[in-house]
């Protein structure tokens, strides 16, 4: 079973990239974030035609939006309105006996102060609520993917020193995300696969003149597995080359292969 996650930054604008990537990666499931598209405008037919006919979508105009696109049937399609907001940041489904959670965690704005910045407050509330949720309902046979907008380890950013006051890599976000993994019954599957030392990035800013030359990336996207699945992780791929596409997303696809 191959599962891929990708913050696509507009699924309609990048539909050709998505269709090409589905085939190239030969993924069974593709989880998208920031689809920025209402459900009635989601390009479901094109994906069905390409060979991925099963979809679970939750979109809204202009912002956010998550989707699960699958070769195999999806059941138990559901979502939670985290922090009480109806803002299309989560969808879950069961595929081939596996419970899949697809998240788009709030970015958190610029200022890393929850008293001055409501967006940062919302982000921390969101992570705290995820922690208590999975603490109470320990996952099994589950995979959690998505753009979590936090790079938890020093090796998840180009410079832990220069980004220590930058939202996505502040101490409180890093601590809270690691607590969510630990208390929530998850394993950071991507980090576990590559080991603690390697620098791993999944996002590079649009603002760089040359994203590859400056290589100022961050690992904001994640694939976690419930601890019972730890021994089933066979392979993990970060498709960094996707950042060099024509009109790319600023995030790249990450794929995990699970053995049965």
Partner DNA sequence: ATGGCAAATTGAATTTGA
Residue (247 or 259) nearer to DNA, CB:
247
Residues in touch with DNA (CB under 7 A):
7, 9-10, 12-13, 34, 36, 61-63, 106-110, 119, 147, 149, 167-168, 203, 205-210, 214, 218, 220, 247, 250-251
Residue (67 or 229) nearer to DNA, CB:
67
The distance of closest approach from Cβ of residue 197 to DNA in the complex, given in angstroms and rounded to an integer, is 22
The distance of closest approach from Cβ of residue 215 to DNA in the complex, given in angstroms and rounded to an integer, is 10
* Nearest alpha carbon to residue 110 among 177, 170, 152: 170
The distance of closest approach from Cβ of residue 25 to DNA in the complex, given in angstroms and rounded to an integer, is 21
Residue (1 or 145) nearer to DNA, CB:
145
The H-assigned helical ranges of the chain are 15-25, 44-50, 118-136, 171-183, 189-194, 211-214
In whole angstroms, how large is the CA radius of gyration of the chain?
17
* Nearest alpha carbon to residue 177 among 224, 111, 112: 224
Residue (184 or 248) nearer to DNA, CB:
248
The distance of closest approach from Cβ of residue 237 to DNA in the complex, given in angstroms and rounded to an integer, is 20
- Which token pair is 5? 């996650």
- Which token pair is 190? 């991507």
Q: How does DSSP classify residue 251?
A: B
């Amino acid at each position: 079973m191959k599962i891929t996650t990708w913050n696509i930054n507009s699924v309609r604008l990048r539909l050709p990239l998505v269709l090409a990537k589905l085939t190239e990666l030969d993924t069974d499931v593709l989880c998208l974030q920031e689809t920025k598209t209402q459900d009635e405008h989601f390009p479901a037919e094109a994906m069905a035609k390409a060979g991925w006919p099963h979809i679970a979508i939750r979109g809204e105009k202009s912002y956010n939006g998550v989707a699960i696109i699958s070769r195999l049937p999806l059941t138990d399609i559901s979502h939670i309105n985290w922090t009480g907001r109806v803002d299309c940041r989560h969808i879950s489904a069961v595929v081939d006996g596996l419970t899949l959670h697809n998240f788009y965690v709030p970015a958190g704005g610029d200022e890393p102060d929850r008293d001055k910045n409501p967006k940062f407050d919302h982000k921390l509330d969101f992570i705290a609520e995820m922690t208590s949720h999975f603490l109470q309902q320990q996952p099994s046979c589950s995979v959690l993917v998505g753009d979590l907008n936090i790079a938890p380890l020093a090796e998840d950013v180009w410079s832990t020193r220069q980004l220590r006051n930058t939202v996505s890599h502040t101490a409180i976000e890093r601590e809270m995300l690691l607590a969510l993994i630990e208390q929530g019954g998850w394993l950071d599957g991507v980090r576990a696969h590559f080991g603690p030392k390697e620098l791993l990035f999944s996002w590079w800013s649009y603002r760089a003149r040359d994203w590859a030359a400056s290589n100022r990336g961050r690992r904001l996207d994640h694939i976690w597995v419930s601890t019972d699945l730890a021994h089933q992780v066979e392979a993990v791929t970060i498709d960094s080359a996707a950042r060099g596409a024509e009109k790319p997303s600023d995030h790249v696809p990450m794929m995990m292969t699970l053995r049965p």
